């Protein structure tokens, strides 16, 4: 029997490459949608529905956190605004590792690793810290070379393609023209 991995899924398009790649590496993938960072609510719902469509069409086991804890997310962000991405990574990866422990899954990862727009070094550091604090192994892969492929696959599957990372700060950067690769 394949080892299970709990894969934090930021969205369906970013899942199109990591899910089969992990399966090819011998894992049984369980998707975990936990994204209190996504704003506004309409955007959150669009991404949630798209992820539901993706896991249904591809017969992937999934766990969905459907809550929308706007206030607690914003409090966490505003308390460390200068390191908002780190706060967001910590929140989502910690929740993923803790849920993995609850489910008896010994490995976790995240689809955020496919994006050339994420702070990869920081993401890896947070993943390693969460691994150390929870005892759940962080599987770190570099799927960035396949980022464009993930978008093509998403279009082919009719998945919702968002235009920014998710938080209101990234939305502002996107529409004010400050978006840049963070490799």
Question: Which two three-digit tokens encode residue 88?
Answer: 């967001």
Residue 86 lies in a domain: yes
List the CATH number of the domain containing 15: 3.40.50.620
- Rounded CA-CA distance 6/11 in Å is 15
Q: At what angle do helices 70-79 and 84-103 cross, to 10 degrees?
A: 130
The domain total for the chain is 1
135-159 burial, b at 16+ Cβ within 10 Å, e below that, comes to ebbbbeeebbebbeebbebbeeeeb
Q: Domain range spanning residue 146? A: 3-175
pLDDT at position 143 is: 98
- Give residue-wise pLDDT tens across range 117-168: 999 999 999 999 999 999 999 999 999 999 999 999 999 999 999 987 887 7
Residue 181 lies in a domain: no
Residue 183 lies in a domain: no
Question: Which residues in the chain land under pLDDT 70?
Answer: 81, 178-183
pLDDT at position 178 is: 63
Taking the complete model, does pTM exceed 0.85, yes or no? yes
């Amino acid at each position: 029997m394949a080892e299970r991995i709990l894969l934090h899924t930021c969205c369906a398009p970013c899942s199109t490459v990591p899910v089969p790649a992990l399966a090819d590496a011998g894992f049984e993938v369980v998707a975990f949608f936990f994204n209190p960072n996504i704003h506004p609510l309409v955007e959150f719902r669009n991404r949630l529905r798209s992820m539901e469509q993706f896991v249904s069409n591809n017969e992937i086991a999934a766990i969905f956190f459907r809550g929308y804890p706007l206030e607690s997310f914003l409090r966490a962000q505003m308390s460390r605004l200068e390191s908002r991405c780190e706060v967001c990574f910590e929140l989502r990866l910690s929740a993923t590792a803790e849920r993995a422990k609850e489910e008896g899954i010994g490995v976790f990862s995240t689809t955020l690793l496919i994006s050339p727009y994420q702070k990869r070094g920081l993401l890896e550091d947070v993943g390693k810290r969460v691994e150390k604090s929870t005892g759940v192994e962080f599987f770190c892969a570099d799927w960035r070379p396949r980022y464009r492929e993930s978008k093509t696959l998403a279009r082919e599957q009719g998945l919702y393609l968002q235009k920014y990372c998710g938080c209101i700060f990234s939305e502002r950067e996107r529409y004010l023209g400050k978006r840049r690769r963070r490799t």
